[in-house]
Chain A
Amino acid sequence: MRAPAAALLAILVALGGVVGAREAVPTAQDPVAARRSVELARKLRCLVCQNQSIAESNADLAVDLRRQIDEQIAAGRTDAQVVAFMTDRYGDFVLYQPPLKATTVLLWAGPALLLLLAVLVLRRALRQQDETPAPAPLTGAERALAARLLRGEATAGRDEAR
């Protein structure tokens, strides 16, 4: 029972390796261009499978866009020009690192603002704690009651009323 299962697992793992190896095959010949191509593809989101980059995805569109990147690099375009080509067509959404502009200020500044807010709230809470007056010292009767309670001679509550 175990041996066939292990064999099946081995086959699956081997297949997984083959499938994995098919990802992001650079089509450019020149190694420098190929590295640039893959680096650009890693920065761009695949619109078909949105949580993968163009480099990782095997969707048809990702393959086409990788081809576009290769062609544009071969044509001597700069990285910025290739990225602009993509954002002109698909918008800033294709960038994993969105640019800083009026509509994205909150996105970039949000974490810092939240941290600032948290620090302010914490400071206020600590200050309030400081300002809470210390409890008044016990009166003689209270001390006597506490002593009796500790010796087990009385029960807590309405002793004085008795």
Chain B
Amino acid sequence: MNRFLLPLGAFLVLLGFLFVGLKLNPREVPSPLIGKPVPEFTLPQLHEPAQAFSPRSMRGRVWLLNVWASWCVSCRDEHPLLVEFARSHPVAVVGLNYKDKPGDAQAWLAQLGNPYTLSVSDLDGRVGIDFGVYGVPETFVIDKQGVIRYKQIGPVTTDALQGKILPLIRELEQG
């Protein structure tokens, strides 16, 4: 009897590992940027290309950076949530319009609504690389000191918004 106990135990441990592995998402690569200062950049604004935007101007405020593009299908999924969020919360949402044509991007916002305080055009995706973007959409929560506190990979969902993003924003605004 005893001689079967050890292999059975080992098998159960393996089963446990495999079971946990089933639920992990290999596409969600944890960002090394969490807890680091937001990368500096200066980019033209989508609606007023003559004006530049830099994250430095957001010091002292908690804000969201949402990476989006008009060619991105999942951005359409999360868009109504962002519009609703912008309507009901005074938190600034900056859009990083990633590798998009400004004309397409403006038409997309005109059609679906514009939840962004402002959007900036990252035409060649360089700023996206600085943020470790490897898919669109992605959303960053940035605190008053300009430190990235959270990264949502993929569309913002109601669960993520209610469970993580909103509580974090509330906490950060206290501090």
Q: Which residues of A contact B (CB under 8 A)?
A: 47-48, 50, 60-61, 64-65, 68, 87-93
Contact = CB atoms under 8 A, between A and B. Distances in A.
Nearest to A60: B99
- Size class of the B contact interface (CB-based, 8 Å): 10 to 19
A91 B32 contact: yes
A50 B33 contact: no
Interface string B30-63: 1111000000000000000000000000000000
A64 B122 CA distance: 13
B135 interface: yes
Contacts of B132: 89-91
B29 interface: yes
Contacts of B126: 64
A93 B24 CA distance: 15
Contacts of B27: 50
Interface string B118-162: 000000111001111011000000000000000000000000000
A128 to B, nearest CB: 10
A50 B129 contact: no
29 contacts: A47-B29, A47-B134, A47-B135, A48-B134, A48-B135, A50-B27, A60-B99, A60-B125, A64-B124, A64-B126, A64-B129, A68-B129, A87-B32, A89-B32, A89-B130, A89-B131, A89-B132, A90-B29, A90-B31, A90-B32, A90-B132, A90-B134, A91-B29, A91-B30, A91-B31, A91-B32, A91-B132, A93-B29, A93-B30
Nearest to A48: B134
For chain A, what secondary structure do more than half of its interface residues adopt (helix, strand, loop), or is it mixed? helix
A89 B135 contact: no
Contacts of A64: 124-126, 129
Q: Please name the 3 residue pairs, one residue from A and one from B, whose CB atoms are nearest each other, closest first.
A: A47-B134, A89-B132, A91-B32
A34 B85 CA distance: 48
B26 interface: yes
Interface string B83-110: 0000000000000000100000000000
A53 to B, nearest CB: 14
Contacts of A61: 125, 134
B135 A65 contact: no
A122 B134 CA distance: 47
Nearest to A47: B134
A68 B129 CA distance: 9
A90 B30 CA distance: 8
